[in-house]
Amino acid sequence: MSTTTPEKGTLIGVGVGPGDPELLTLKAVAAIHSADVIAYHARPNGSSTARSIAEGHFREDQQLELLEYPVTTGITEHPGGYAGAMADFYTEAAARLRAHLDAGRAVAVLALGDPMLYSSFQHLHRMLADDYPTQVIPGIPSVTAAADLIEQPLAEETEILSIIPGTLSKNELVAALGVCDSAVVMKLGRNFDKVKEAMIEAGVARRAYVAIRVGMSDQRQLPLLDAEGSELPYFSVAVVPSKTASSAANAQEESEGTGGEVVVVGLGPGSDRWTTPEATLVLSQATDIVGYSTYVKRVPERPGQRRHLSDNKVEAERAAMALDMAKCGRRVAVVSSGDPGVFAMAAAVLETADDDQWRDVPVRVVPGMTAAQAVASRVGAPLGHDFGMISLSDRLKPFEVVEKRIRALAGADMAFAVYNPASKERRWQVARLKEIVAEYQAPATPVIVARAVGSEQESVTITTLEAFDPDVVDMRTMVIMGASTTRTYVSPVFGPRVFTSRRYE
């Protein structure tokens, strides 16, 4: 007597949409109706929304598998905590479905929204897909359904849309909201108050909405600032719609609702990846971008923002313009390369603001990575011990003062970074720098010459004080002069490495 092993059944993830049975796709309806087994999730002792959406297409002879969560919050007596309880649940659920699949039955697992977006089906798919034929049928996610409910587009043109879980910490939420143009925050539930605070801090709350029970008979929406966490059911999402699509009136209300201010922002040196999330957030909230043309062009253009480009030698005029605009209710970002407090615009703005006509205008400073930090990181840690920073420019101070400070740094045996070392018209100062340092340091003292760090034209050279050629230096170059404790060695992976020891013999 011979026996035959039945062919394995197919695992089907079926997206049933956000709540309205009429939003089921034709493909989803066909899969539900033809499956041998229908599996669906429910909270403990609760009903299944997914089942209520799809049950109009069940057959009487189908087998039903209720996958009841052991817990829906982090509170549990399981020895492994919430994670342990859920891991055991999915193991047991997968075993039950595996029995059907081994018997050759087609198993349709119902998933609210889309099966591959924050869905319990994803866990079952991960556990079973390697062993059985699988099929995933898309469903309308609450992300797009919520935008349709509030009748606001999610994204247009080059806008960046983010889908963010409300379970993140408030700081993580603020950072995530700051680097996108529009967003949908899911998993609101008991996280709403935290999400609301984060949206207010990120400056997007005025254009945000809460969509409640999307796709269900009692669906509704309201402005986020009017919503209270105690009133929101589990099936709610927060939507920050397209910035481009916002009306001019709403944009003006958002820009002026909290009063004007000036924020001096450090973009970091050269590369966008060195711009901090805080700086990105401030730039996205600004009504006006002010700065030297090269730096303003580094800021992504945003619809409705005004850009004010100027020459690099009009710091006071630039600061006055920014303060005047802020006094009229604008939110003005004054941009600098590197850190705005290091040979950049922060001091210029604050000095200008120290006047009766502007003293009431709020001025904030958002830090950025300094050029010295970026250059140092390229070769190791030449600024790893006490160090200094000096500008070689004599445009705002006589070179006698510059020379006095070079001698102070070299005489104190400190490594130091040299900003603004040269320009087309200003060449001799770099040679004089070399001469002065040579009076205090040995010829073999390491010197780093870095040009355009963080850009495609980046060039970094490690040389010595004796071999250092002042003629290679221009305005895009930074020089780091080593000290007696600055050392070099050769790494088999990275090549020459430089560090200034924190120990003295």
Residue 444 lies in a domain: yes
State the amino acid at position 84 in one-letter form: G
Residue 4 lies in a domain: no
| C-alpha–C-alpha distance, residues 97 and 121, integer Å | 12
Higher-pLDDT residue of 107 and 213 is 107
Residue 76 lies in a domain: yes
Shared domain check, 147 and 125: no
- Joined together, the tokens standing for residue 202 give 């990120």
Shared domain check, 157 and 120: no
> How open is the CA angle 417-281-223, to the nearest 5 degrees?
170
**What is the pLDDT confidence band of residue 497, given thresholds at 50, 70 and 90?**
very high
The residue out of 105, 140, 175 marking a domain boundary is 140
State the amino acid at position 113 in one-letter form: G
Count other Cβ atoms within 10 Å, centred on residue 30: 13
| C-alpha–C-alpha distance, residues 18 and 13, integer Å | 15
CATH of the domain at 486: 3.30.950.10
Shared domain check, 136 and 15: yes
Q: How far is CA 423 from CA 146, 172, 437, in A?
A: 56, 42, 21
Shared domain check, 266 and 235: no
**What does the DSSP 8-state code read for residue 97?**
H
Q: Residue 278 half-sphere exposure, CB side, CA atoms within 13 Å? A: 13
Residue 265 lies in a domain: yes
Closest CA to 487 of 372, 374, 381, 378: 381
Q: How far is CA 83 from CA 112, 132, 234, 339, in A?
A: 22, 26, 20, 43
Q: Tell me which residue has tokens 């950049």.
A: 344
Phi/psi at 367 (nearest 5 deg)? Answer: -70, 160
DSSP-derived secondary structure for 138-205:
----HHHHHHHHHT--S--TTPPEEEEETTS-HHHHHHHHHT-SEEEEE--GGGHHHHHHHHHHHT-G
Shared domain check, 287 and 396: no
CB 189 within 8 A of CB 232: yes
Give me the percent of the chain exceeding a pLDDT of 90.
64
Residue 1 lies in a domain: no
**What is the pLDDT confidence band of residue 72, given thresholds at 50, 70 and 90?**
low
Among 62-66, 166-170, 473-477, which stretch is predicted with the lowest mean pLDDT? 473-477
Q: Tell me which residue has tokens 């959406």.
A: 53
Mean pLDDT over each residue of the chain, to the nearest integer: 89
pLDDT exceeds 60 at position 248: no
pLDDT exceeds 70 at position 257: no
Question: What pLDDT score was predicted for residue 247?
Answer: 41
pLDDT exceeds 80 at position 160: yes
**What is the pLDDT confidence band of residue 207, given thresholds at 50, 70 and 90?**
confident
CB 446 within 8 A of CB 462: yes
State the amino acid at position 479 in one-letter form: V
pTM exceeds 0.75 for this model: no
The residue out of 95, 124, 140 marking a domain boundary is 140
Question: What pLDDT score was predicted for residue 74?
Answer: 57
Q: Kindly report, residue by residue over 406-429, the tens digit of the pLDDT.
A: 999 999 999 999 998 888 778 899
Shared domain check, 151 and 135: no
Q: Residue 104 half-sphere exposure, CB side, CA atoms within 13 Å? A: 4
Torsion (CA) 484, 490, 491, 497 in degrees, nearest 10:
30
Count other Cβ atoms within 10 Å, centred on residue 367: 18
Question: What pLDDT score was predicted for residue 249?
Answer: 37
User: In the predicted model, what is the mean pLDDT of residues 255-284?
Assistant: 83
User: How many structural domains are present in the chain?
Assistant: 4
Residue 371 lies in a domain: no
pLDDT exceeds 60 at position 246: no
Beta strands 11-15; 37-42: pairing state:
unpaired
Residue 372 lies in a domain: no
Beta strands 209-212; 236-240: pairing state:
antiparallel
Question: What pLDDT score was predicted for residue 73?
Answer: 60
Shared domain check, 354 and 392: no
pLDDT exceeds 90 at position 202: no
CB 207 within 8 A of CB 284: no
Give me the percent of the chain exceeding a pLDDT of 70.
95
- Find the domain containing 409 and state its range: 377-500
Residue 337 lies in a domain: yes
Q: How far is CA 496 from CA 130, 410, 415, in A?
A: 48, 24, 18
Q: How far is CA 124 from CA 84, 111, 132, 448, in A?
A: 16, 11, 12, 55
CATH of the domain at 23: 3.40.1010.10
| C-alpha–C-alpha distance, residues 245 and 9, integer Å | 47
Phi/psi at 269 (nearest 5 deg)? Answer: -90, 115
Q: Go through 450-471 and write b for each residue having 16 or more CB atoms within 10 A of its CB, e for each that does not.
A: bbbbbeeebeebbeebeebebe
Beta bridge partners of 419: 391
Shared domain check, 134 and 27: yes
Shared domain check, 264 and 237: no
Beta bridge partners of 462: 448
The residue out of 338, 366, 394 marking a domain boundary is 366
CB 390 within 8 A of CB 405: yes
| C-alpha–C-alpha distance, residues 109 and 40, integer Å | 6
Q: How far is CA 94 from CA 28, 73, 89, 101, in A?
A: 22, 21, 9, 10
Shared domain check, 131 and 16: yes
Shared domain check, 410 and 333: no
Question: What pLDDT score was predicted for residue 147?
Answer: 92
- Joined together, the tokens standing for residue 425 give 């018209």
Shared domain check, 258 and 213: no
Residues with Cβ within 8 Å of 404's Cβ and at least 6 positions away in sequence, in order, are: none
Phi/psi at 452 (nearest 5 deg)? Answer: 55, 45
Higher-pLDDT residue of 181 and 381 is 381
